A and B are shown apart, each in its own frame.
Chain A
Amino acid sequence: MYPVKYHKATSIADAVAALSAGDDATILAGGQTLLATMKQHLADPSDLVDIRSIDGMAGVSAAGNVLTIGAATTHADVAGNADVQKLCPALAELASHIGDPAVRNMGTIGGSIANNDPAADYPAAMLALNATIVTNTREVAADDFFDGLFGTALDDGEIITAVKVTAPSKAAYAKFAQQASLFALVGVFVADGAGGVRVAVTGAGEDGVFRQSGMEAALASGWSEAALDGVAASEDGLMSDLHGSADYRAHLIGVMAKRAVAAA
Chain B
Amino acid sequence: MTTINMTVNGKAVSGDVPDQTLLSEFLRENLRLTGTHVGCDTSQCGACVVHINGKPVKSCSTLAASLDGADVKTIEGVSNGELHPMQQAFNDNHGLQCGFCTPGMIMTSIDMVERYKAAGKDLTSDAIRAELEGNICRCTGYHNIVKSIEDAAAKM
Contacts and interface: CB of A to CB of B under 8 A. Distances in A.
A105 B131 CA distance: 13
Contacts of A48: 19, 63
B66 A106 contact: no
Interface in B31-73: 41-44, 46, 49, 52, 55-58, 60-63, 65-66, 68
Contacts of A63: none
B46 to A, nearest CB: 6
Nearest to B59: A102
B41 A76 contact: no
A185 to B, nearest CB: 15
A215 B52 CA distance: 44
A93 to B, nearest CB: 13
B66 A8 contact: yes
Given A1-B20, A31-B61, A31-B62, A40 B56 contact: no
Interface in B118-152: 131, 133-135
19 contacts: A3-B19, A6-B66, A8-B66, A8-B68, A28-B63, A31-B62, A32-B58, A35-B61, A36-B42, A36-B61, A39-B22, A40-B42, A52-B66, A76-B55, A101-B108, A102-B57, A105-B56, A106-B57, A180-B44
A39 B43 CA distance: 9
Given A2-B20, A35-B61, A102 B108 contact: yes
7 pairs of A and B residues whose beta carbons are closest in the complex: A100-B134, A6-B19, A36-B43, A100-B133, A6-B65, A1-B20, A105-B55
Interface in A184-228: none
Contacts of B58: 32, 102-103, 106
Contact of A102 (B18, B20, B66, B134): B134
Interface residues of A, number: 29
A35 B43 contact: yes
Contacts of A2: 20
A70 interface: no
A101 B132 CA distance: 8
A4 interface: yes
Among A40, A106, A181, find the residue whose CB has the most chain B CB atoms closer than 10 A.
A106
Contacts of B46: 100, 102
A1 to B, nearest CB: 4
B56 A31 contact: no
Contacts of A36: 42-43, 61
A97 to B, nearest CB: 9
Contacts of A50: 66
Nearest to A32: B61
A22 B126 CA distance: 47
A54 interface: no
